[in-house]
Chains A and B, each alone.
Chain A
Amino acid sequence: MRGSPGSMTVLRPRSAAEAVILCAKHPGCLPLAGGTDLMVLWNMGELNGRRILDLSGVAEWRAVRKTAAGLRVGALATHAELRDDAFVRREFPLLVQAAAAVGAAQIQNRGTLGGNIANASPAGDTFPALAVYEAQIRVVSAKGERVIPFSEFFAGVKKTNLAPGELVSEIEFPFPPSRPRRQLFRKVGTRAAMAISKTVAAGLLWLGPDHRVRELRFALGSMAPTVRRLRAVEEFARGKRLTTEVTAQACNLMSQDVCPIDDVRSTAEYRLRVSQNILAAFLLG
């Protein structure tokens, strides 16, 4: 344990309004949501001397609500709450599967969706689901509120497009246009639980009455500095029947949107091949 509690200041706002004021007043403070990432750094002594903004008292950011347009998830809702919510289970099953794939039960009990997003790991397990559901990230600061499309939220590895003083308050999920014909979530980790993804996929597929692709959404995590929608594959598949031939061609287009690397957890080659296998199986049904 190299963390030095004595060297750290903890700010404890009791409301969202107070949180944004404190955040504006102390640029560079580190928001603490569930703490599942932060505590690792703390243990390593990397937060000594830092100012921590403990959001646990901000009750208004905890709610999971159904709206006319879809679902609104407070940034401080835990993965366990998402996983167990009946409405989410019915309408956004990929989000449930993704939340159930994060770490293990203990992490799901503590970790929050907002914290997961703001931490901006390339391997965030919920991100492919957020990408295919085309989530909107609501952020607030002392200056006001804005909405960032999920696809524009990340700037790179562990980097977001949040401006200084901005905090994630809510994540909005619009209802998909209709029930997808097929949907998929698949995490490939280093073991069955408590694992960081080697690749993580989410897919939604709508077919027309003629079995041609009306719309395909497919996203991959751990395959680039940030989560990626496979735009080239999605475009290519539109209007086509998913034959073996078309599927093979679609898989070949994967590299246009991802750039996997060799690292301590896996290899670029494995990541690409397995992602292609998963995509192919999804397209072929």
Chain B
Amino acid sequence: MLQIGASLKRADAPQKLSGTAKYIDDYRLPGCLHGATLRTAIAYGRITKINFAPTFPWDECVVARAADIPGTNNVLFIEADQPLLTEDLVMHPMQAILIVGHPDRARAYEALKHIKVEYEEREPVLSIADSLAKKQLLRGEDNVFKRHLIEKGDLAQGFAQADRIVEGEYRVPHQEQAYIENHGIASWVEPDGTIVVHGSLQCPYYVHKALVKTFALPPERVRVINAVTGGAFGGKEDYPSVIAGHAALLALKSGRPVKLIYDRQEDMSATTKRHPAVVRHKTGVSKDGRLLAQDIEVVMDGGAFATCSGVVLSRGTLHATGAYECPNVRVRASVVATNTPPNGAFRGFGVPQTIFAAELQMEKIAAALSLDSLELRRRNAWRVGAVTATGQKLQESVGALKCLELCARRGHYLRKRQLYARWNSRKGNPTWRGIGIALCPHGAGFTGSGEVTLASRAAVALTKSGAVRILAASTDLGQGAITIFTQIAAQALGLPPGLIEVEVPDTALVPNSGPTVASRTTMVIGGLIERAAGQLKDALAQAGGRAPRTRAALKKAAAALCGGRQELRFEVAYEKPADITWDDSLYRGEAYGVFSYAAVAVDLEVDRLTYEVRVRRVTTAQDIGKAINPALAKGQIMGGTLQALGYALFERAEFQGGWMRNSQFTNYIIPSFADAPPMEVLLVEEPYSRGPHGAKGLGEMPMDVPAPAVVAAIHDATGFWFSEIPVLPENICGKFRNAEKTK
């Protein structure tokens, strides 16, 4: 039976639907302490004194402080600049100072109220502009965490040839990942001294790497286990290393198991968000709508510590031109420090920021040329053979135009533009209607030489009792990794999926498959599993003459093949394709093995009385190479699209003095189901020769592309352009007021 392209039901669905899936806070840990985190109350300065109120019964508590850290007081990620617990220097609000443990969770929080911290406050840097102006020096000589530069062709010559030059500036805000399960980690110390961490996390080996350093332990003395994780969206890529360090430190100090579970308010105000950014474009075009020169500047706000900002910036930089070919390009990008909680990974990873700008710039250019932006995109979109800004020649699997055309046709883009012009001219209608379109690429897998550096591993094991088990560190965050891996292995082995198990991502049991990020799990790790399963199949075939197809046959073959061994393990590692080259110093070469593509048409209406926007319909075509499981692929696309509609229309993290003031769902507004429009998802399959069955990355792309289409549709409806999101009813209202004033 063909497993690939079949919409197998999700392996984890019954437990999640029935409430029996165990999330970390569902585990009973007898005798455990509950941790509560004391956090900084200022944005920048020094701690001068910490006073414990003598009236509180401190003997009920265990307090873990920086002095208790056996190794180094930092959270090793890409850099090691972030202290696990701050002793002195305060770099942002909500920075952890110490952890109080108490057997009663509410008492642990109560205890925090009896600790007074005194500070010597300094004027903080709270904006990109202030950081660039070096209002305070937070980092190095210029507050810049990282810079990237891409250059192609001759920019001056490109502008000299241009008939029109169009300039624009675009801004995007913070965005909260808003996973359904808050951050949570449990930790305990085994009798042999092994520190165990169990929790809601994306990347077990990232946490492992950080803990080894913090606790100065050999790698085998740290064990990280992934619990059922209720969503992550990047938000559980780096921050779990912080919480795991806190929980493990308290476990070590108290000698008891520890649970450290954040509530929504703490989670939202302390943990990472999408990087805000300012993007400037200057584009030279010919009369007939050919891009001749693109000069792009990207500045992102990294917050107080490096986290993965440099890599987010890299991906943003590499997507800054959009999916368009231009002979002369310069992209200058930097990410700067501010006294706000560090920003980090979030689905899209820098791309939603730069694609928002790139796509709205296309709208602006089209308007300047009196051309529909659809036509402008057609004329410049990547095709096979196109050369990107880094000099990468696209050899195969370029579905950009196909997505664009399909989306425009099925979304009735051009017809609705005319229809809505008539609708909007009728005074009695209750709304203004509009439709907008956008296109984006999304590089699949790690950037540049990232996959080579990661050298990911995965395995398929056969036990002597006849169980086939997939061993990978990739976590199922709700995206369906377990199901996809099962399908790929089942197909390779010629076995029914029911005979295949997926091991819990546990660093004691599975090899390091790298992180569950970058739309790489199906394409890269799925590919490794396919290879490993192929090796197992060959071994089975060699041993038994032909590959088993039933449980009984498998059992028999396993007993014969394993001999006296408990299990046979087939482990494979990522191998760099010979023809992919990347120069990290010059930012030249194959930035990604392949790109996926998405086009989206957003049809919406704006209420004439309240300026509220209601999205009526979304049509999207996405080239993902091959849908291993079409139902899961469509689900991912719908979810990501809704998340992006939130980015465009609702979500505003209100920062004041470096603090997020609206850190609950009451006032940080994400779309509800009542806001979710009907969506038509069209899967385009331009196969990638190196992906399993042609598959490319999918997870992040749906988040990249809707925001500019929303803004274009609002323009179509109201006649007003917005260069910043979210576009709230208040902003639309303001445009009408200003228009009346100037009248």
- Asked if A193 contacts B730 (CB within 8 A), the reply is no
Residue of A whose beta carbon sits closest to that of B730: A270
Answer whether residue B110 sits at the interface, using C-beta atoms and an 8 A cutoff. yes
- Asked if B107 contacts A4 (CB within 8 A), the reply is yes
- Asked if A277 contacts B610 (CB within 8 A), the reply is yes
Task: Tell me the minimal C-beta distance from B610 to chain A in angstroms.
Answer: 5
B730 / chain A contacts, CB cutoff of 8 Å:
266-267, 269-270
Among B105, B614, B654, B661, the residue within 8 A (CB) of A1 is: B105
- Asked if B106 contacts A191 (CB within 8 A), the reply is no
- Asked if B265 contacts A274 (CB within 8 A), the reply is no
- Asked if A45 contacts B733 (CB within 8 A), the reply is no
- Asked if A190 contacts B104 (CB within 8 A), the reply is no
In chain A, positions 189-208 with a C-beta closer than 8 Å to chain B are 190-196
B734 / chain A contacts, CB cutoff of 8 Å:
269-270
Among A3, A195, A264, A273, the residue within 8 A (CB) of B106 is: A3
Task: Tell me the minimal C-beta distance from B615 to chain A in angstroms.
Answer: 10
Among B105, B109, B661, B672, the residue within 8 A (CB) of A191 is: B672
Residue of B whose beta carbon sits closest to that of A195: B669
Q: How many A-B residue pairs have CB under 8 A?
A: 81
- Asked if B263 contacts A43 (CB within 8 A), the reply is yes
- Asked if B672 contacts A48 (CB within 8 A), the reply is no
Task: Tell me the minimal C-beta distance from A104 to chain B in angstroms.
Answer: 7
In chain A, positions 266-280 with a C-beta closer than 8 Å to chain B are 266-267, 269-270, 273-274, 277-278
Q: How far is the CA of A201 from the CA of B109 in the complex (A)?
A: 41
Answer whether residue A2 sits at the interface, using C-beta atoms and an 8 A cutoff. yes
* Binary CB contact string for chain A from 8 to 52 against chain B (1 if under 8 A, 0 otherwise): 000000000000000000000000000000001001110010000
Q: How far is the CA of A40 from the CA of B264 in the complex (A)?
A: 12
Answer whether residue B552 sits at the interface, using C-beta atoms and an 8 A cutoff. no
A278 / chain B contacts, CB cutoff of 8 Å:
609-610
Residue of A whose beta carbon sits closest to that of B608: A277
B672 / chain A contacts, CB cutoff of 8 Å:
104, 191-194
Answer whether residue A142 sits at the interface, using C-beta atoms and an 8 A cutoff. no
Q: How far is the CA of A40 from the CA of B667 in the complex (A)?
A: 13
- Asked if B110 contacts A4 (CB within 8 A), the reply is yes
Answer whether residue B737 sits at the interface, using C-beta atoms and an 8 A cutoff. yes
Task: Tell me the minimal C-beta distance from B452 to chain A in angstroms.
Answer: 44
B107 / chain A contacts, CB cutoff of 8 Å:
4
Among B265, B614, B662, B733, the residue within 8 A (CB) of A44 is: B265
Known: A266-B730, A267-B730. A45 touches B106 (CB 8 A): yes
Answer whether residue B666 sits at the interface, using C-beta atoms and an 8 A cutoff. yes
- Asked if A2 contacts B105 (CB within 8 A), the reply is yes
Answer whether residue A243 sits at the interface, using C-beta atoms and an 8 A cutoff. no
A281 / chain B contacts, CB cutoff of 8 Å:
609
- Asked if A48 contacts B106 (CB within 8 A), the reply is yes
Residue of A whose beta carbon sits closest to that of B109: A2
Task: Select the residue from A4, A44, A190 with max chain B CB neighbours within 10 A.
Answer: A190
A211 / chain B contacts, CB cutoff of 8 Å:
none
Q: How far is the CA of A198 from the CA of B667 in the complex (A)?
A: 11
* Binary CB contact string for chain B from 265 to 307 against chain A (1 if under 8 A, 0 otherwise): 1000000000000000000000000000000000000000000
Q: How far is the CA of A190 from the CA of B728 in the complex (A)?
A: 9
Task: Tell me the minimal C-beta distance from B178 to chain A in angstroms.
Answer: 13
Answer whether residue B485 sits at the interface, using C-beta atoms and an 8 A cutoff. no
Task: Tell me the minimal C-beta distance from A221 to chain B in angstroms.
Answer: 15
A43 / chain B contacts, CB cutoff of 8 Å:
263
- Asked if B110 contacts A196 (CB within 8 A), the reply is no
B669 / chain A contacts, CB cutoff of 8 Å:
190-191, 195
Determine the interface band of chain B, counting residues with CB < 8 A from chain A.
20 to 34
* Binary CB contact string for chain B from 230 to 273 against chain A (1 if under 8 A, 0 otherwise): 00000000000000000000000000000000010100000000
Task: Tell me the minimal C-beta distance from A257 to chain B in angstroms.
Answer: 20
B675 / chain A contacts, CB cutoff of 8 Å:
191-193
Answer whether residue A212 sits at the interface, using C-beta atoms and an 8 A cutoff. no
* Binary CB contact string for chain A from 247 to 260 against chain B (1 if under 8 A, 0 otherwise): 00000000000000
Answer whether residue B674 sits at the interface, using C-beta atoms and an 8 A cutoff. yes
Residue of A whose beta carbon sits closest to that of B656: A264
Answer whether residue B497 sits at the interface, using C-beta atoms and an 8 A cutoff. no
Task: Tell me the minimal C-beta distance from B67 to chain A in angstroms.
Answer: 27
Task: Tell me the minimal C-beta distance from B219 to chain A in angstroms.
Answer: 35
- Asked if B106 contacts A2 (CB within 8 A), the reply is yes
Task: Tell me the minimal C-beta distance from B562 to chain A in angstroms.
Answer: 48
Among A6, A44, A196, A269, the residue within 8 A (CB) of B737 is: A269
B265 / chain A contacts, CB cutoff of 8 Å:
44
Residue of B whose beta carbon sits closest to that of A199: B610
B109 / chain A contacts, CB cutoff of 8 Å:
2, 45
- Asked if B263 contacts A273 (CB within 8 A), the reply is no
* Binary CB contact string for chain B from 438 to 473 against chain A (1 if under 8 A, 0 otherwise): 000000000000000000000000000000000000
Known: A1-B106, A190-B650, A196-B666. A104 touches B609 (CB 8 A): no
Residue of A whose beta carbon sits closest to that of B113: A45
Residue of A whose beta carbon sits closest to that of B669: A190
Task: Tell me the minimal C-beta distance from B228 to chain A in angstroms.
Answer: 19
Among B104, B608, B650, the residue within 8 A (CB) of A6 is: B104
B671 / chain A contacts, CB cutoff of 8 Å:
191
Answer whether residue B673 sits at the interface, using C-beta atoms and an 8 A cutoff. yes
Task: Tell me the minimal C-beta distance from A34 to chain B in angstroms.
Answer: 17
* Binary CB contact string for chain B from 708 to 743 against chain A (1 if under 8 A, 0 otherwise): 000000000000000000000110011001000000
Task: Tell me the minimal C-beta distance from A139 to chain B in angstroms.
Answer: 29
A4 / chain B contacts, CB cutoff of 8 Å:
104-107, 110
B666 / chain A contacts, CB cutoff of 8 Å:
40, 196
A-B contact pairs, 17 of them (CB 8 A): A1-B105, A4-B104, A6-B104, A43-B263, A104-B672, A190-B669, A191-B675, A192-B614, A192-B674, A196-B666, A265-B667, A267-B730, A270-B611, A270-B730, A270-B733, A274-B609, A274-B610
Could you list 20 further interchain pairs (A-B, Cβ under 8 angstroms) beyond the known A1-B263, A194-B665, A277-B609?
Answer: A2-B109, A4-B104, A4-B107, A6-B106, A104-B674, A188-B612, A190-B667, A191-B671, A192-B674, A192-B675, A193-B672, A193-B673, A264-B661, A264-B667, A266-B730, A269-B730, A270-B734, A277-B610, A278-B609, A278-B610
Which are the 3 A-B pairs with shortest beta-carbon distances? A4-B106, A192-B674, A193-B674
Chain B residues with CB under 8 Å of chain A are 104-107, 109-110, 263, 265, 608-612, 614, 650, 654, 661-662, 665-667, 669, 671-675, 729-730, 733-734, 737
